[in-house]
Structure 1
Amino acid sequence: MSTPIGNAVVGVVLPVVVFGIVIYSWYIYIFRLCYAHLLDTNKAEAVAFMVIGTFFMVITLISYLRVLFSYPGKAIHATPLSLSTPSTFPRFYYSPRLLDPKTMCRQKHDVEEATETTSLLPVVSISKNDGLPRYCDTCQCFKPDRTHHCKECNACILKMDHHCPWISGCVGHKNYKFFFLFVLYCAIYALWVFCTSIPTVVEAMNEPDATLDPQWIVLLVLSFVFGMTLWGFAAVHGYYIINNQTTIEHISQRPNEVRIDFDISGHNFEIVTTHHDDNLWDLGHSRNWRSVMGSNPFGWFLPIYGGLGDGCVFPYNDSLYENIIERAKRQRMMLNPPTSQAF
């Protein structure tokens, strides 16, 4: 069982380990391999190897710093919508007219005005099976869709993906892009080092009176193990991104309870249970990618800006949204069938 002191120690030690491995491998690659054995025989190739290797090392550490010092987003700081005042009405909800499809941010119209209320209804949200809004007793806050409580962080994280000890925190809505870029660039750096080091080491060992530097072996082992492992990890998270899923959502076997409110009273609603395989937030590969990596293609692979939206409300898949509304209406008709008129 983890303790606050243990988490604090791990939170300091693991980042030091990451920086140590990356910088140490870079030192061996640049100074003990490329500079010492390749520069004299093939200067152009040595310079290219050192420049490219240094670039991927630097971008890896920048991405790591970004994810270390970026905020994943907590539900306790989320700004709820204010469509109505009843305590039983969801604090976070979705309607196709609520969000700008390009920025995934709330539209500029005032959702509090009564004139705008009817244009947003019906609204949908993830709820408990009794229709009550999801509430965290520990954090004492309402939980937006896709938010989960992390026991390690003791907080409700917006669009939580997983808790990562290597960053001493959670991967969530606001730092997921930086986490993905760190994993991706670290994998590229490791495999670049591995693939370019092997021929250099072989050539060096064929020289007269050649001696094997033990640190070359360390470099090859580290770069191969981390490269192959992180490439698999990057591929998995790339799959999650283009399908608009989190790790939690992908492995979950529990269905979602979707609440459909037909008015703002907080009492006129239906609950529709969806299959756990239904990806409610799948917007197509292109929009899914942009929701995490940003709308500007020039910034997709730069650890500068995060994803789109505020992490509280996410657009639903259009067909699933329509299907949920129709099922809710059919449920309403079955519970309150129209009375036949006698002639």
Structure 2
Amino acid sequence: MVDGHGDHPNESKCCGVVERAVERSREKSERRKNKPQPWIVLKLAVGMTAGILGYAFYVYIGRLCVPMIRDNDGALGGRNIGIPFLIIFCLLGIMTWWTYIKIVFTGPGKARDYTSKCDPPILPANYRWWGSASEIDLGGGPFIPVPQDQQQVQSTSYPHGGTEPSSDGHTTIPSAPSFNMSEHVSEKNKHSQAEENAGVMDTLPPVQRVRVRAEQLNNGSAQPKDIEQGIPAPSNQLPMRYTRKPSSTPVLNPEYRYCHKDGFLKPYRAHHCRACGTCILKYDHHCPWIGQCVGARNHKFFVNFLFWAMWFCLWTFSTLLANVIKMNQNPRNDIDPQQVVIVAFAALFSIFTSTLLATHIRMILYNFTTVESFSMSRMKEREQAVLGRLFKIYQFGEKRRARKQWDTEWGRIGIEGNIWYLGSLRSNWESVMGHSVLYWIFPIGESDGDGINWTVNPRFDKEGRWRPRREWPEELR
């Protein structure tokens, strides 16, 4: 039979079955995402790396150095070259093996070993996901018109809406209201509208002039030609001040450090790794080549490994390539395909390790992790976009002066604007790599700190919000 709408009764049943099947599939997919990867999957690349290293030893020693030591025809050189090549290769290879074993068997530090389960904290009404793409979280905010007679008052207030310091030097933060899920969801959906004003601060004369004249037009107190001619505003029209609003998210507060998957309050700089299925202390990234994460306990050894692996790959690549070229020039000799394979591997890993080493050296010098660098990069991108809207494409000088003006008021993004910056590049470096040059080169010693307690940049308030220069401690201004 067919019902009044002309639909077969079995169609609704089929639709229901399909919907339930889709829902079950989604639930299974979500459960798989929340599960850590099997141990064999995590360690698969470790076996591959060990196999490549072992094969490189066989090809280099057995098919390059031994023929030179024996003075075989067509070899790259004689014994006087083969023996030094063998010694250098073995030294670099031993250091690469040593550092690799050290990083593979040294854990990054798991937060669950240092904290206990607890109930989630009460979320404030203005709660935003940490690391979301909203304008506030990415370091921007709306242009805020500030009357001239109130600018002095504003200089003593916090840009995040808190109150000025009390007489005892502590900041008074208003209590957070109850969490409203509908407000939270609607706020998450606003990030697509948040391109307007990130990275703009202090008085920018071109923008100020245009916006003031625009308001005068709206009030009927100015004519359009005044905007073009730059006629000063009437005395009763107060100028506007455009200031940048860094992230107002109090990232050090408990509600932004609670892990709902592990059910505990994460230490500072800890993040949940989906592959490992747990929170990692000072999480940098998950590296499949070592089968685990890079974090507080093994970041130093990871840099040690990259350093020696880079030189090992460069030496292997350059010497084997020279031998392949020489063999190709002699028509009586056949090119060894196994050497060509190792040349290709060595070239690939030379680029990979050198690039990664340079990146991590830079991040350590400024004391931020790969995860923490993302927010700084987004903030710089937003500032660049705003500068592109404020100035013409050819106005490089104006853009440079505007950016310098911003840095004068707030400090530089990634340096003074890094919550974990310790005051100098050397202090940042030694906090990870140790205080001895031997620690910097060899996989010995350990990083400073316990991976749980971290020194907060005094340019930030106690809840983790960047303050303008005028609110910094006197000795840092």
Flag whether TM exceeds 0.5 (same fold). yes
Which of the residues 259, 262, 287 maps onto 1:164? 287
Q: How does 1:143-158 map to 2 (within 5 A)?
A: 143-158=266-281
8 Å CA contact 1:127, 1:134 repeated in 2: no
Task: Give the C-alpha shift of residue 132 in structure 1.
Answer: 4.4
The amino acid of 2:90's aligned partner reads T
1:199-238: CA deviation from partner (whole Å, max 9, x where unpaired): 2333344457212111111121111111112211111111
CA distance in 2: counterparts of 1:164 and 1:171, whole angstroms: 7
Match status 1:73 vs 2:109: yes
Alignment: residue pair count: 274
Q: Does 1:281 align with 2:312?
A: no
Q: 1:42 aligns to what?
A: 78
Name the structure 2 match of 1:310. Answer: 450
Q: Does 1:299 align with 2:299?
A: no
Q: How far did residue 324 of structure 1 move? A: 6.3
In 2, Cα distance between equivalents of 1:69 and 1:211? 42
Judge conservation of contact 1:64–1:182 (CA < 8 Å) in 2: yes
Is the radius of gyration larger for structure 1 or structure 2? Answer: 2
1:33 aligns with 2:64: yes
Q: Which residue, out of 41, 51, 54, partners 1:20? A: 51
What amino acid does structure 2 have at the position aligned with 1:78? Y
Q: Are 1:239 and 2:362 matched, yes or no? A: yes
Contact 1:38/1:200, CA 8 A, preserved across alignment: no
AA at the equivalent of 1:28: V
Distance 1:171 1:326, change over 3 A: closer
Alpha carbons of structure 1 residues 213 and 325: separation in structure 2 relative to 1, 3 Å: closer
Deviation of 1:140 after TM superposition, in Å, equals 2.5
Greater shift in the superposed pair: 276-285 or 302-311: 276-285
In the superposition, relative to structure 1, how do residues 319 and 219 fare at CA in structure 2: closer, same or farther (>3 Å)? same
CA distance in 2, matches of 1:218, 1:130: 53
| Matching of residues 137-216 of structure 1 within 5 Å | 137-207=260-330, 209-216=332-339
Identify if the C-alpha distance between structure 1 residues 129 and 181 changes in structure 2 by more than 3 Å, giving closer, same or farther.
closer
Q: 1:269 aligns to what?
A: none
In 1, Cα distance between equivalents of 2:374 and 2:466: 26
- Between Structure 1 and Structure 2, which shows a larger proportion of strand residues? 1
What CA distance in whole angstroms lies between the structure 2 residues aligned with 1:130 and 1:294?
A: 30
Cα RMSD over matched residues?
Answer: 3.6
* Unaligned residue ranges in structure 1 (runs of 5+): 81-86, 89-120, 256-273, 331-343
1:233 maps to a residue whose letter is L
Q: 1:183: how far off?
A: 2.1
Counterpart residue type for residue 366 of structure 2: N
Q: By how many angstroms is 1:240 displaced? A: 0.9
- What residue identity is the alignment partner of 1:27? Y
Q: Distance in 1 between matches of 2:34 and 2:279?
A: 18
1:130–1:182 CA distance, 2 compared to 1 (3 A): closer
The 1:35/1:130 distance shift into structure 2, 3 A limit, reads closer
SS in 2 for 1:252: helix
Report deviation, 1:56. 1.4
Counterpart contact for 1:39–1:47, Cα < 8 Å: no
From the superposition, tell whether residues 131 and 64 of structure 1 become closer, same or farther in structure 2 (CA, over 3 Å). closer
Cα distance in structure 2, aligned partners of 1:76 and 1:199: 51
Give the AA of the match of 1:210: N
Q: Distance in 2 between matches of 1:157 and 1:223?
A: 31
Q: Which amino acid counterpart does residue 184 of structure 1 have in structure 2? A: F
* 1:170 alignment partner, SS class: strand
The Cα offsets for residues 113-145 of structure 1, whole Å up to 9 and x where unpaired, read as: xxxxxxxx88xxx95587647222322222111
Give the match's secondary structure for 1:316: coil
Tell me the alpha carbon deviations over residues 72-107 of structure 1, each in whole angstroms, 9 at most, x when there is no partner.
112222279xxxxxx99xxxxxxxxxxxxxxxxxxx
1:248 to 368, 371, 374: 371
Distance 1:130 1:29, change over 3 A: closer
Distance 2:353 2:115 in 1: 36
